[in-house]
Structure 1
C-alpha cells in the first residue's frame, strides 16, 4: 500500500510540472484537448528539454537572437497563435541557412515548390527562403492556408511537416476506425466501412491521382470527432501508422518547446532577454539598382563584408540581380546609407578577343555564363571588340599572364599600383612568367 501511495505521489509531482494553466492555454490555442497534457510521450519530451537539455534549448534561442523579433512581430500582425514560433524553432533551430537532404532551405525549411507557391523567389541570383522576413511571412500565409484547410491549428502544424494529403489520410483512417467502435459495426463486413477502406487503399497505391475521393470522404466524415491522441496512437502490426514517425515526433517537439516558451521559471533561468531580444529587427531593407556590389556597400558603411553577407544570405552572389532588388543593412546605418549611397557596380569590363567564347570568359572571371548573358542581354554570338560587363563574385580578377606582359603594364591596365599586385600574390620580385595566374584587386 505504501508503495502504491509513493508511486501515486511521484506521479502527481511529475504531472504538476506539465499540467498547469500556462500549458493548458498553449493546447487551447492550438485546438488540442486539455487531456493531452497527460500524454506520456509529451511529458517525457517536455521534461527532457526543461531539465536534461536546458543548455541545448538555450543555444537554439541564442541562434534566434536577431530572428525572434521578426517572427514575433509578423505573427502578432497576422493574428495567429504565438505558439507557432516553435515551428521555426523545430524546423531550423533558428539557423537562416539551414538545409535538409530533401532540398528544404531556410528558417522555415521550405521546399522549392511550396516556396514559390507562397511568393518566394528562387532563381540564379536569389533564394528568398533564406530571407528571414519574407520567408516568415510566407510561412504564416502557408500555416493560415493549412488552418483554413483543416480547421485546427495542430492539424495545420502536422500538415506543414507531412503535407496536406498525408494528414487527410491520417484523419480519414482514424475516423473510419472510430466509426467501427462508435456504431459497433464490423470492420470486416459492413459495406460502408469496406467502401471507405477501398478509397484509402487506392489513395495509398495511386497517390495524388486518387486524392479527390479521399478528400470527399474526409469531408463526409466531418461529424466524427477524433483527438490528437487518436492520431498518435500506435497500431500494432501496421507498417504504415496514421502519421509518419517524423510527424508524430514533430508535434510533440513543438508542444514541448511551446510549454518552455511559456514557463516563468525557465524564462528566469534563460535570462529572459533572449526572448525579448529587441522590439524591432536590428536591420532593415533598402532598394538598390541591379548589380550593386555588397563589397562596395560594406566599405561605404564601414562594416565587414562578412557581417553584411550574414544579413543577405538570400543573395547567391556578392552582387544583386540584374534587376532592381533589395538588401538588408543595419538599422542604425539607414540614414547614412541613403545620404551617401551612389549606384556603383563591382563589374569588370572585358573586350572580346578572337577565339573567345562565353565559356572561356566565364572561367577566366570565375563566374557563370548565365550571369554574363543576363547582364549583357546577349544573343547567340559574340563579336570581336564587343565590350562585356562581367559581374564579379569576389574582390579579385584572375589574370593569366600573356607573352609581352610586365607587372607595371598589368598594373596600368587595371589602374592599380604594381606593389599591391605583388603583395596580394606574395611576389618577391617584379618578375612574372607567361601562363602565371595573378589575382588583381578590383576598385570600387
Structure 2
C-alpha cells in the first residue's frame, strides 16, 4: 500500500493535530534551559529588587506550604530574595515553564505517587532541565532529570546510537523516582536528598561532617558546593511561585495537547517518526516532542528490547489497528530510498575500525565523537602514527555515523575441504525481521551487504526466505 493510499484511508478517521507557532517554538526552545543553568551558576540573585510581596505575606504563605509537605520550606532572607528576583525579572520565562508543566506534571505525579515520593518534588525538573527532555549540560548530564551516563545505567536507562533513554520522559522519571527514594533512604531527609541529587551523596556527607554533624539543609548549606547552595533554594522558589501563580497574576496559555490525551504503543519493527507523521498527518515537530529519546528520529527494533512510540489518542488507535500496514510501508519506503541507516551500537559497545587511505587520528576521532588521546589509550599507542589497514578499537560516542564493514576472512581446513566460515551461512527470515535487524545479528554485516549478496534491490522480505550472510 502506497503512502497516499494510507493517508486517504485515515482521512475519514484521523484528528489532525493543530499546533500554533508559539507552542512549536516553545517545544524546541533550547535557550530556556541554558538561561536557567546560567542563572543558577552565575547570576547574583542577591542583588536588591523592589519588594512588591511583603515579607510577612511571604512568611505566612511559606508556613502554609510547609504544613502540608514533608519538605522543610522555612523562610530565609536568601529564599525571599530569590523569590523576589523570579517575580520581578523572570516572569515571562516562568510562564513558559507553567505552560510546559501542564503536559509533564500529570506524568510526574502519577509516577511519584507510585513510588511514594512527595508530589512537590515534581518542581525539581524545573531547576534541573527547564522541562526540556533534550537538555544537556556541559558535563554531559542529559534529559528532564539530568542523568549522567553511569547513574542512568544504574537505573536501566540505556544509551545507544539511536536512543537515549535519559531523554525519555517516562523512563527517566521512573529512574529519578527510584534514585530520589534511594537518597532519602540514606539521609532520611528530603531536603538533603535533593542536595545529594545535585552534588552527589559524597558532597552532602562532607558538608555534614564539616558542619559538626548537623543534618538539616540550612545548617550544612555553607559547606556545600556553590551550585548546590543555590539549588535547593531555587527549587523552593519555583515551588512557591507555581503554588501561588494565580496570586501573582501569572497568565500562561494552556497546552494544546495534555499528557493524558496521549498513549504509548510498543513497536514491533523499525520505523521512522517522519513516516508516522506523514501517514497520520501529525506535525513532525510535535511527534518528536512526544518521543524525544529517539535521537535520529528512528525507532529501532531489537528482539530483546521494548521500544514504544507516544501518539495522540486518535492516532494511537489508528496505529494499533493498522500497524502491519505501517511497518510494511516503512520497510518499502526505506528500501526504495536506498538509504543506508546509521550503524546501531550501545555507548558501552566497542567497534573495530580499519584505517583507510587519507585517515589520521584527528579525523577518526571527530567521526566517532571521541578524543585522539582516548584512541591512543584504547590501542596502547605511543604516537599518532597509523597505517592503512590497521585495526583500531574505538568506543564511539557519536550517533549518526555509518561504518564501512570489515569483511571476515574465510578459514579453510585442508585443501579441497568445505569452507567453515560465514561464507557458508544462511539466515531464514522470521516474522517482524528487517534487513537492519538481521544485519545487527552478525558481526561486520551491513544492510548494503545483505542487499548486494542477495540481489534484493527493492524486494521486501517475507517469512521463510533464506538469505545468504556472506558472498
> Structures share a fold, TM > 0.5?
yes
Mean CA deviation greater in 63-72 or 138-147: 63-72
- Using the alignment, how far apart are the partners of 1:61 and 1:289 within structure 2? 36
* Match of residue 148 from structure 1: 185
Give unmatched runs, 5+ long, in structure 1.
1-9, 177-224, 234-241, 390-412, 416-444
- Using the alignment, how far apart are the partners of 1:146 and 1:351 within structure 2? 46
1:117-157 CA distance string (max 9 Å, x none): 11211122210111111111111111111111110000000
Structure possessing the higher radius of gyration over alpha carbons: 1
Mean CA deviation greater in 134-143 or 256-265: 256-265
* Match of residue 295 from structure 1: 274
| 1:79, distance to aligned residue in structure 2 (A) | 2.7
TM-score (ref. length: structure 1): 0.62
Tell me the C-alpha RMSD between the 2 structures: 3.8
Task: Specify whether residues 262 and 294 from structure 1 end up closer, same or farther in structure 2 by C-alpha distance, changes over 3 A only.
Answer: closer
Matched, 1:258 2:239: yes
Matched, 1:336 2:318: yes
The answer to whether the 8 Å contact 2:158/2:164 transfers is yes
Q: 2:442 aligns with which of 372, 378, 386?
A: 378
- Using the alignment, how far apart are the partners of 2:141 and 2:155 within structure 1? 14
* Match of residue 311 from structure 1: 290
1:40-97 CA distance string (max 9 Å, x none): 1111001122333222211222233322221122223333212211210001111111
1:263-305 CA distance string (max 9 Å, x none): 26437x234875x998753322111123123233222322233
Matched, 1:348 2:321: no
Matched, 1:171 2:208: yes
* Match of residue 152 from structure 2: 115
Task: Specify whether residues 91 and 277 from structure 1 end up closer, same or farther in structure 2 by C-alpha distance, changes over 3 A only.
Answer: farther
- Using the alignment, how far apart are the partners of 1:296 and 1:279 within structure 2? 23
Equivalent pairs counted in the alignment come to 314
The answer to whether the 8 Å contact 2:96/2:252 transfers is no
TM-score (ref. length: structure 2): 0.58
Q: 1:270 aligns with which of 246, 250, 253?
A: 250
1:309-338 CA distance string (max 9 Å, x none): 222221122322231521111123222111
The answer to whether the 8 Å contact 2:95/2:252 transfers is no
The answer to whether the 8 Å contact 1:30/1:154 transfers is no
Task: Specify whether residues 288 and 173 from structure 1 end up closer, same or farther in structure 2 by C-alpha distance, changes over 3 A only.
Answer: same
Matched, 1:40 2:77: yes
Matched, 1:157 2:194: yes
Q: 1:246 aligns with which of 223, 227, 232?
A: 227
1:344-396 CA distance string (max 9 Å, x none): 325338799xxxx9999xx9xx852399886413344789985269xxxxxxx
Task: Specify whether residues 263 and 278 from structure 1 end up closer, same or farther in structure 2 by C-alpha distance, changes over 3 A only.
Answer: farther
| 1:25, distance to aligned residue in structure 2 (A) | 2.9
SS at structure 2 position matched to 1:105: coil
The answer to whether the 8 Å contact 1:282/1:330 transfers is yes
SS at structure 2 position matched to 1:300: helix
The answer to whether the 8 Å contact 2:97/2:126 transfers is yes
Task: Specify whether residues 272 and 309 from structure 1 end up closer, same or farther in structure 2 by C-alpha distance, changes over 3 A only.
Answer: closer
The answer to whether the 8 Å contact 2:102/2:258 transfers is no
SS at structure 1 position matched to 2:310: strand
Task: Specify whether residues 227 and 255 from structure 1 end up closer, same or farther in structure 2 by C-alpha distance, changes over 3 A only.
Answer: same
Task: Specify whether residues 96 and 280 from structure 1 end up closer, same or farther in structure 2 by C-alpha distance, changes over 3 A only.
Answer: closer
1:173-188 to 2 correspondences below 5 Å: 173-176=210-213
Matched, 1:281 2:260: yes
- Using the alignment, how far apart are the partners of 1:329 and 1:136 within structure 2? 19
- Using the alignment, how far apart are the partners of 1:100 and 1:144 within structure 2? 24
SS at structure 1 position matched to 2:301: coil
The answer to whether the 8 Å contact 2:191/2:216 transfers is no
* Match of residue 102 from structure 2: 65
The answer to whether the 8 Å contact 1:22/1:262 transfers is no
The answer to whether the 8 Å contact 1:291/1:319 transfers is yes
* Match of residue 221 from structure 1: none
- Using the alignment, how far apart are the partners of 2:269 and 2:450 within structure 1? 21
The answer to whether the 8 Å contact 2:195/2:228 transfers is yes
- Using the alignment, how far apart are the partners of 1:143 and 1:252 within structure 2? 18
Give unmatched runs, 5+ long, in structure 2.
1-49, 341-352, 357-366, 368-399, 406-434, 460-471
| 1:160, distance to aligned residue in structure 2 (A) | 0.4
* Match of residue 221 from structure 2: 232
The answer to whether the 8 Å contact 1:284/1:328 transfers is yes
The answer to whether the 8 Å contact 2:267/2:308 transfers is yes
Task: Specify whether residues 83 and 384 from structure 1 end up closer, same or farther in structure 2 by C-alpha distance, changes over 3 A only.
Answer: closer
SS at structure 1 position matched to 2:207: helix
